[in-house]
Amino acid sequence: MARTLIRRVALGLIAVLGVAVLAFLAEFVVPGDPARAIAPRAQSAAVLQNIRVQLHLNQPLIVQFADYFASLFHGNLGTSYVQRQSVASLIAPRLVTTGWLALAGVVAEIILGGALGLVATLYPRVRAAVTAVNLTLLALPQFVVGLVLLLVFGFRLHMAPVTGGAGPAEIILPALTLGLVGAPWYAQIVADQMADSLSSAYVRTAVAKGLSDRYILRRHVLRNVLSPALTMIGMDLGAYLSGVVTVEVVFGWPGIGLLAVESLQNLDRPVVMGTVIVGAVAVVFFNLLADLVRMYVDPRTREEPA
């Protein structure tokens, strides 16, 4: 088992590095002059050139690349072009804010999706209706759901706050948005795994042993549902923590996603790179964590198959 883990961690680090390299190179394809973004009202070319020299933007790509990654390996994410602050200090609070949203979103989608899946399994007659609901939710883009919720509950019914902010009241709608959009995935997993389990030979054995339905669900079926669900949770947490951009933009939620969008508009490269790297690390980390928990729950996944 240790060998498996070490391999995963190594692969994860390589993945993060790869993402960083790609992002860095992508920056240079994006049109726009950061110098001009910093000083939009500057008139003379000399001023702009001065800025460029200060930020080392006049150096060849290779040198900038080497500089950036050298300081990266020392744990330094650089300084924002626009804000005169270290990138790390900019990102940290935003990361926490997104963290709350991510958590709330995952909780929402588990509850909604789990409920849908359970209903579909235990009440076969409404299964078609549940499938229709799932498909609808899957087809809807995040921003549409978000905007509709905002419109209905925020502006029309005045049930939820509509201005940006990061408090407990403000988290409801964006979390609900994430929950609705993500629910079908969990519904699918729950329904599939339960159907599989309930028709499986070992559940039949449990019935033969005279165990009650509820006991069987609890002791024998649930664990097998957990395994793939945990994988999905890991993926979701990682994905959300790397910035649920659309939802944050719609609701003005001051998280890392919103920061990334703003920095892109400002051509604030270091911050953009910082968000990308933090996002990649989050994805790798949470996937790994999910794997660990899954190994605990399902002993079959502890060894790689021979």
Partner 1 sequence: MTAAAAAAQPSASALEVTGLRVRYGGVTAVRGASLRVERGEVLALIGETGSGKSSLALAAARLLPPSAEVTGQIRIAGQDLAALPPRELRKRRASLVGYIAQDAMAALNPVQPAGRQIGELFRVHRAMPRAAAAAQATAELSRVRIDRPGLVARRFPHQLSGGMRQRVMIAMAVAMAPPLLIADEPTTALDVSTQAEILALATGLREETGAGILWITHDMGVVAELADSVAVMYAGRIVEQGPVHGLFDHPCHPYTEGLLRTRRDLRAGRPGELLYQIEGSPPVPTATTGQAGCPFAPRCPRRTQACDEQEPALAAVAPGRLAACHHASVPPAAPGTTRRPSGAPGPAARHGQEATR
Residues in contact with partner 1 by the rule CB under 8 A = 199-202, 204-212, 215, 219-220, 223-224, 297-300
Is residue 31 classed as helix, strand or coil in its secondary structure? Answer: coil
Q: Give bridge partners of residue 79 from the DSSP assignment.
A: 86
Is residue 180 classed as helix, strand or coil in its secondary structure? Answer: helix
* Comparison of 125 and 209: residue with beta carbon closer to partner 1: 209
Q: How far apart are CA 147 and CA 259, in angstroms?
A: 20
CA distances to 72, 108, 249, 250 from 164, rounded to whole Å, are: 33, 20, 10, 9
Least Å distance between CB 117 and partner 1? Answer: 20
Least Å distance between CB 233 and partner 1? Answer: 18
The number of beta carbons lying within 10 Å of the beta carbon of residue 206 is 19
Q: Under a CB-based contact definition with an 8 Å cutoff, are residues 130 and 287 in contact?
A: no
Sign of the CA dihedral with 290 first, then 296, 300, and 303 last: positive
* Comparison of 155 and 215: residue with beta carbon closer to partner 1: 215
Q: How far apart are CA 279 and CA 300, in angstroms?
A: 30
Q: How far apart are CA 195 and CA 162, in angstroms?
A: 42
* Comparison of 183 and 189: residue with beta carbon closer to partner 1: 189
* Comparison of 89 and 212: residue with beta carbon closer to partner 1: 212
Please state at what angle helix 87-122 crosses helix 222-241, rounded to 10 degrees. Answer: 150
Least Å distance between CB 226 and partner 1? Answer: 9
The number of beta carbons lying within 10 Å of the beta carbon of residue 182 is 24
Least Å distance between CB 222 and partner 1? Answer: 10
Question: Rg of the chain's alpha carbons, rounded to an integer?
Answer: 24
Least Å distance between CB 30 and partner 1? Answer: 49
Number of residues written out for the chain: 306
* Comparison of 69 and 215: residue with beta carbon closer to partner 1: 215
Rounded to the nearest 5°, which phi and psi values hold at 252? 65, 35
Least Å distance between CB 5 and partner 1? Answer: 20
CA distances to 108, 153, 161, 173, 202 from 146, rounded to whole Å, are: 14, 10, 13, 7, 43
* Comparison of 163 and 199: residue with beta carbon closer to partner 1: 199
* Comparison of 106 and 221: residue with beta carbon closer to partner 1: 221
Least Å distance between CB 219 and partner 1? Answer: 8
* Comparison of 57 and 198: residue with beta carbon closer to partner 1: 198
Least Å distance between CB 125 and partner 1? Answer: 14
